[in-house]
Amino acid sequence: MRSMVRVMCFAWLLPAAQLLAAEPQSVVQEVAKDKAQVLEQKVADKESPKAEPQAAAITKPEVQAVDPAGQAPVDDAITCLSRTLYWEAKGGESADMEAVADVVMNRLGHEGFPATVCEVVKQGSEKSPCQFSWWCDGRPDQVQEEGRYSLAKEIARKVLNQQLQDRTGGALYFHDRSVSPQWAKSYIKTTEIGHFLFYKPKDLAAR
């Protein structure tokens, strides 16, 4: 009798599971983008983050449904952050990507920086210098390595969900080890991770 009940329950649940699996990708994408917008606003509201309602976390299937081929316009939080990690930390380890993501999120809503991920990433594109070189280097921004981009999106998901600790010690700036920019002398170096060195202002005010 119990076996029969189990079979009936499974038969009832199977169509529901199939319906979930058949959810149009466009719907899943929009759900993910909406969640990301709420999450970025929560991070940007540094004055009263506890007053914000609990934001729904982005799931793995949702984040991977957004811009799956790496060809879509760069105009939502997930795509902006994922492409930044992909291009800025290209060839690096996952720790490099996480650290670059930390800089983006640390800037979000900070004095002197915009209040959305895309605005942070694209800052300086209208008047130099660009804050993130990949955005205005004149090269195509489409993804070339599917596996690396999937990793970038998964890290973006975790960072937006606030599921990872800041690796950079509150850094707002970074540069590749292969260069020695003059501006770095004016800041405090917080750490070194993979290919990058990370910094924050001495007075904690963005410049």
- Overall average pLDDT of the 85-111 stretch: 93
**Nearest CA among 135, 137, 139 for reference residue 121:** 135
d(CA 207, CA 132): 15
Asked if residues 84 and 104 have their Cβ atoms less than 8 Å apart, the reply is yes
What pLDDT, on a 0 to 100 scale, did the predictor assign at position 116?
Answer: 96
pTM, 2 dp: 0.83
Confidence at residue 164, expressed as pLDDT on a 0 to 100 scale: 96
The arithmetic mean of pLDDT across residues 114-121, rounded, is: 94
As separate numbers, helices (DSSP H) first and strands (DSSP E) second, the chain gives 7, 3
* CA–CA gap between residue 180 and residue 59 (Å, rounded): 39
Q: For residue 114, what are the contacts with CB-CB under 8 A and spacing of at least 6? A: 107, 108, 120, 123
- What pLDDT does 204 receive? 61
18, with CB counted inside 10 A (0-12, 13-18, 19+), is exposed
Give the pLDDT of residue 83: 94
| Secondary structure class of 151 (helix, strand, coil) | helix
CB 137 within 8 A of CB 198: no
In the structure, what pLDDT confidence band is assigned to residue 150 with cuts at 50, 70 and 90?
A: very high
174 pLDDT band (50/70/90 cuts)? very high
- Would the pLDDT of 13 be above 50? no
